[in-house]
Every structure is written in structure tokens, then in C-alpha cells.
Amino acid sequence: MITRKKYRQTVIGFHQPWTLIASERGISQLLYPPEVATLAGLNQDVAHMVEDRSLFDEFGIIELLEQYFAGVPVSFDKVPLDVEGTKFQQGVWMALNQIPYGDTWTYKQLANAIGKPSALRAASTAIGRNPLPIVLPCHRVVGSNGTLTGFRGGLQMKKDILALEGVIHLEAVGHERFRF
């Protein structure tokens, strides 16, 4: 595997800093505020990455994220990506782009969309490892009963992101630790 030089840039979303990571080929990660601190503590590489806004401006990602967090519907389809994952994971992540802004799909709908209806759990695991939340909209995937379920940033963040898109009819379910 070829190691590429990585760059980072901070953007503000929901009044908190989110960190973008990219190579010259494209965007590779978007880290939630708590993930940034955790990764910086575990991986000194994040703290030592070069901050280069021009690269992110070239990709157009900063302006798109600023618009998105301001409540403007945007498409990230033209942003170059450099995500690492298995072929299956990448297929799941790219399928997330099929879910329209302001809409939700169930995990079953997503598994059907990738042509693997029996791979429901594998698809949900891949969604949980999505390196580019918002850009690859994993927040738009909900439980089969139409409720909020699992989200690395927490259900409150998922609820807030969906509300930004006008989706406000969902309830939280599951284990108490996931409730807000």
C-alpha cells in the first residue's frame, strides 16, 4: 500500500470544529469534534499533518460544507475522494450518495440498493465505518421502523444533522446509552 502525504483543515459545523483530512487525490476523512481529540491523542500524525486550505479550496469542500451547515442543500458528488476500505465498504459508502437530501432510507433499503439484500448487517457495519460523514450521508440511514439508530457522533448529532435537512419526524430507540 502506498502511503500518501495527508493534509488537514478545520471547518465549523454546529458551532464546533470538524477536521477534514485529504491527500492530493481527494478527501479521505471528516472527523466529528470528539473524534478529533481522540485521534490526536492516539495518533500523533493527525496533529502533525500540514494545514493547507488551498488544497481543500481546490476540491471545493470547504465552501460546500459551510453551505451545508448553513442549511443550504448541496451535492458533494464532484468532490474528489480518497477513501480507503474494502471493495464492499466502498460500494456501501458510494450507495449512500443515492439517498436524496432531506430523505432517509432504512438499512434494508441500502442493502437492496447495493444488490446484497442478505448483507444487511455487513452493510450496517460498513456504514458505521464511513470515513466521510455528511459527504457520504450515513446519517440518512435509519432503522426499519423509521427511528434513529446508531451514529458514531451520537443520536443527538444525527437528529441535528437530519433536522438541518428538514427531517424532523424521527424518534430515538435502542439501548439507553443511545438515547438523548
HEC-encoded secondary structure of 90-125: HHHHHHHHHCCCCCCEEHHHHHHHCCCCCCHHHHHH
Catalytic, 130? Answer no
138, 148, 157, 167: the catalytic one is 138
Sign of CA dihedral 68, 72, 75, 78: negative
What is the radius of gyration, based on Cα positions, of the chain? Answer: 16
**What residues are labeled active site?**
138
